[in-house]
Structure 1
Amino acid sequence: MTQSPATPLPPPQERRRLRDAAGLTQAQLAARVGVSRATVRAWETGRTTPHGRKREAYAKLLAEFDATAARRRADRPVTVSLEKKTAPRERKKPQERPSPAPAPPPSPSLTPVPPDGPLPAPLTPTQAFDALYAFCAPALVRQAYLLTGRRELAREAVERAFQQVWDRWPEVAVDRDPAGWVRAATYEYALSPWHRFRPRYRHPEPPPADPAHRALMDVLLTLPPPHRRALLLYDGVGLDLPETAAETEASTAATASRLLHARETVAARLPDLSDPATLNRRLAEVASTERLRAAKPPTVRALSERRARFWTRAAIAFTVTLISATTLSLRTAPTRYEPPVPPGETVRGVPPRVAPGPLSEDQLELRKKLREAAGSGPERLVPEAT
């Protein structure tokens, strides 16, 4: 089965120009596509590129904007001025423009939000790690909370994932998708079944205060972990089906089956969330109301280096102990072979020793016979009383 090529998109600057020509704001365009305002801003700056169904919807809207602008240019009359040029008139004083209204707060999103401004110059490893952490950590904490329903475990999963990133930074720095690398590590740690044996995670945490959010979290936590992960990646993060299958290390058919089962379960319990766009918005709202915060990048780097030093010292101590035990065994081992003492063997032909006890009838007759026959033999010395 061949995959259809991606829908072509205009350059980032052209995308913004077409939106401005259509008279739409980023928030209005985001509502029509079904994403957040921050996501549209990332598309227009070229930091990220849409994929899957969202890419097709975004390209279709841009094509409509371009066609509308072309029709307006064609219908506009062309006028030529025949008047002669006169002396320039006095320039009017520029009027004071009213202060612009404050921008609306960004809508919650489960996808990383790129920072505004141009791309920085080549960074050092520390600066590059801090930039990746600032780009991915806030969204990953919200995603981990939706996976586990635990606030502390969500923060711990993100911090442990970035500790692995800093420990293996040369490998992650050249990866084609560092955000996907750290997202997969976060999901694996958050969904580990060993957390149920930890004392701090044996009891459930308080649910969200909003009844609607609490109902959605209850439905999500009843799903099997693979289905929950596929639903979050596809309808929450916005990955397409092949990317979701690749990140979950499953086939496309298995991922599609998990996604359909998860959607059916959510729609059966919460019919108002049967629309994927509504489900995406509700997932972002549930995660954003918890005000989850991750640790600072220097703290994560310090913990990673501390863990690396601990395990390095533990490996060195184990190696030294093993070498010492081997040396002691060689020094105390015998230099020549000493055969072991064989066990005792039973000797046959010797009657067993009889324990002392009363005489038998044969022995009594033998003793009586010996006493009677003693008178005819040699004289015996008999002690006499004096």
Structure 2
Amino acid sequence: MCRPICVYVLFHAKGRPVKQSPGNPLPPPEERRRLRESRSLTEAQLAERLGVTPRKVRAWETGRADPRGRRHEAYAQLLRELRTAAEAAARRADVTAGHGSPSAGRSSAGRSSVGRSAAGRSSAGSSFAGTAGTADAATADPDDTAELPPTPAALTSGPAPEGVGEAGMEFGPDVPDLVPSETVLTPTQAFDALYAFCAPGLVRQTYVLTGRRELARESVERAFQLAWQRWPEVAVDRDPTGWVRAAAYEYALSPWHRFRPRYRHPEAPPSDAYDRTLLNVLLELSPPHRRTLLLYDGVGLDLPETAAETEASTPATANRLLNARQAVAERLPELSDPGEMHRRLSRLATAERLRAPKPLAVRSDSERRARLWTRAAIAFTVTLIGVTALTLRTAPTQYEPPVAPGETVRGVPPRAAPGPLSEDQLKLRKALREETASGPERLVPQPR
């Protein structure tokens, strides 16, 4: 897979009037997000404290909109409390550092971002407000979502655990916090936490996307192997879950799988008749339409996030979504309701018992694959150097012009070779013999 690169764009409300109370101003959007992350709060947790949706909190932190009225006062008060708590924590850290504590110098900014994500740092789609949706997102009001297709609720059955965002556990069971907020993780521990948090649900998603169990497990395994090889990049990403999900989807939808012998034959369909019908309908869709439908109606991403992850514009993503829904509704009319679509997709994903390999095996395979490719690259380089040196050693040092081919010399009759006489030569010989026998100038020998 091959992986698509999603650029996170901060939208600043330039040229728009900001309605704030003169005595209660709000900090800049970047500062709002920094204050929230300094206390390891997710967008869902902050939205619950303010009584709004996580989408509005995301809009406030990106500068696309600003709260008004009582929400403005409550948001400003909460940010002041977060700032006070952050300053107090910084002072305590300075005091601890002055007393020579072994834990001096550790702060929330130095912790692994993957550990915060596994503990519920943010929702899965918060880092994918890419350039594809900037034109619509910059002018849209978060309170006005009537023109966009409705987004279903989270995919978990029942209340989500504390710290899990609106799309944090896709097609997966409810789990508690995997990593305490104050724990400093090693790279191996952070990777294992991310794998335990994402892999089970991601395997189920990929199965719905492809309809193949082995391909789903292989895609997730390859995605995490790539994540471990690029761990310095993934560890600082705002949404490691989305990074791995995009890599798994790209590998699963690769057209080269059709040439593999093991994937030329279909696998056993689901046992339930309705699930078989739904899976067949999904597999009849084109890969971009199927992926868009799964991300929006299954995972629960909003339209700009889905557009960014599928590398398409927001209008194109909306058209794909509407066409996919229409194609599914023609075969299964009851799925015209987005809520029913979400429930059926969740049921189809959880009906299969798909298990991902252990994180230790994934890391070992990733390191083994990296060593293999490194050795292959070294061997190829050495071979190329050897061939170049041999060519330089055996190549001639001066230019020798080639010998020109021979040419026929004109004007000189060809040399006659012995053989039978031609017709003209026979006529000439006969004439000479006749003249010699009767000519007066010739002496004819007489027998004695």
Report the counterpart of residue 127 of structure 1 in structure 2.
Answer: 189
- Cα distance change on mapping 1:316 and 1:378 into 2, 3 Å: farther
Deviation at 1:376, TM superposition (A): 6.9
Find the partner of 2:165 among 48, 52, 74.
48
Find the partner of 1:202 among 264, 268, 272.
264
Find the partner of 1:217 among 260, 274, 279.
279
Report the counterpart of residue 171 of structure 2 in structure 1.
Answer: 110
Tell whether the 8 Å contact from 1:113 to 1:135 is kept in structure 2 after alignment: no
- Residue 357 (structure 1) aligned with residue 420 (structure 2): yes
- Cα distance change on mapping 1:235 and 1:129 into 2, 3 Å: same
Deviation at 1:267, TM superposition (A): 1.2
Deviation at 1:273, TM superposition (A): 1.5
Q: Give the Cα–Cα distance (whole angstroms) in 1 for the partners of residues 354 and 182 of structure 2.
A: 28
Report the counterpart of residue 272 of structure 1 in structure 2.
Answer: 334
Matches within 5 A, 1:367-378: 367-368=432-433, 372=437
- Cα distance change on mapping 1:9 and 1:343 into 2, 3 Å: closer
- Corresponding pairs, count: 306
Give structure 1 stretches of 5+ with no counterpart. 17-32, 52-107
Report the counterpart of residue 157 of structure 1 in structure 2.
Answer: 219
Percent identical across equivalent pairs? Answer: 62
Tell whether the 8 Å contact from 2:224 to 2:244 is kept in structure 1 after alignment: yes
Tell whether the 8 Å contact from 1:112 to 1:136 is kept in structure 2 after alignment: no
Q: Give the Cα–Cα distance (whole angstroms) in 1 for the partners of residues 205 and 348 of structure 2.
A: 10
Matches within 5 A, 1:144-293: 144-293=206-355
RMSD between superposed Cα atoms in Å: 3.3
Q: Give the Cα–Cα distance (whole angstroms) in 2 for the partners of residues 285 and 134 of structure 1.
A: 21
**Larger RCO, structures 1/2 (Cα 8 Å, 6+ apart):** 2
Tell whether the 8 Å contact from 2:221 to 2:356 is kept in structure 1 after alignment: yes
- Cα distance change on mapping 1:193 and 1:224 into 2, 3 Å: same
Q: Give the Cα–Cα distance (whole angstroms) in 1 for the partners of residues 328 and 188 of structure 2.
A: 42
Tell whether the 8 Å contact from 2:155 to 2:171 is kept in structure 1 after alignment: no
Q: Give the Cα–Cα distance (whole angstroms) in 1 for the partners of residues 303 and 160 of structure 2.
A: 24
Tell whether the 8 Å contact from 2:213 to 2:354 is kept in structure 1 after alignment: yes
- Residue 317 (structure 1) aligned with residue 379 (structure 2): yes
Tell whether the 8 Å contact from 1:111 to 1:237 is kept in structure 2 after alignment: no
- Cα distance change on mapping 1:113 and 1:2 into 2, 3 Å: farther
Q: What are the superposed Cα offsets for residues 291-312 of structure 1, whole Å, 9 maximum, x if unpaired?
A: 0011100101111111111111
Q: Give the Cα–Cα distance (whole angstroms) in 2 for the partners of residues 305 and 370 of structure 1.
A: 108
Instruction: Return the letter of the residue paired with 1:246.
Output: A
Q: Give the Cα–Cα distance (whole angstroms) in 2 for the partners of residues 120 and 296 of structure 1.
A: 26
Deviation at 1:174, TM superposition (A): 0.8
Tell whether the 8 Å contact from 2:154 to 2:299 is kept in structure 1 after alignment: no
Moved over 6 A (4+): 1-5, 373-380
- Cα distance change on mapping 1:12 and 1:119 into 2, 3 Å: farther
Deviation at 1:276, TM superposition (A): 1.0
Deviation at 1:261, TM superposition (A): 0.6
Q: What are the superposed Cα offsets for residues 218-252 of structure 1, whole Å, 9 maximum, x if unpaired?
A: 11001111000000000000000000000000000
- Residue 136 (structure 1) aligned with residue 198 (structure 2): yes
- Cα distance change on mapping 1:116 and 1:34 into 2, 3 Å: same
Q: Give the Cα–Cα distance (whole angstroms) in 2 for the partners of residues 170 and 294 of structure 1.
A: 23
Matches within 5 A, 1:90-105: none
Q: What are the superposed Cα offsets for residues 108-128 of structure 1, whole Å, 9 maximum, x if unpaired?
A: 952685533633611111111
Q: Give the Cα–Cα distance (whole angstroms) in 2 for the partners of residues 315 and 50 of structure 1.
A: 40
Tell whether the 8 Å contact from 2:289 to 2:320 is kept in structure 1 after alignment: yes
Deviation at 1:274, TM superposition (A): 1.5
Instruction: Return the letter of the residue paired with 1:224.
Output: S
Tell whether the 8 Å contact from 1:148 to 1:221 is kept in structure 2 after alignment: yes
Find the partner of 1:328 among 371, 390, 400.
390
Tell whether the 8 Å contact from 1:115 to 1:135 is kept in structure 2 after alignment: no
- Cα distance change on mapping 1:371 and 1:166 into 2, 3 Å: farther
Structure 2 residue matching 1:141: 3-state secondary structure: helix
Give structure 2 stretches of 5+ with no counterpart. 1-10, 17-28, 30-42, 52-151
Q: Give the Cα–Cα distance (whole angstroms) in 2 for the partners of residues 347 and 162 of structure 1.
A: 79
The structure whose Rg is larger is 1
Q: Give the Cα–Cα distance (whole angstroms) in 2 for the partners of residues 13 and 275 of structure 1.
A: 27
Tell whether the 8 Å contact from 1:112 to 1:135 is kept in structure 2 after alignment: no
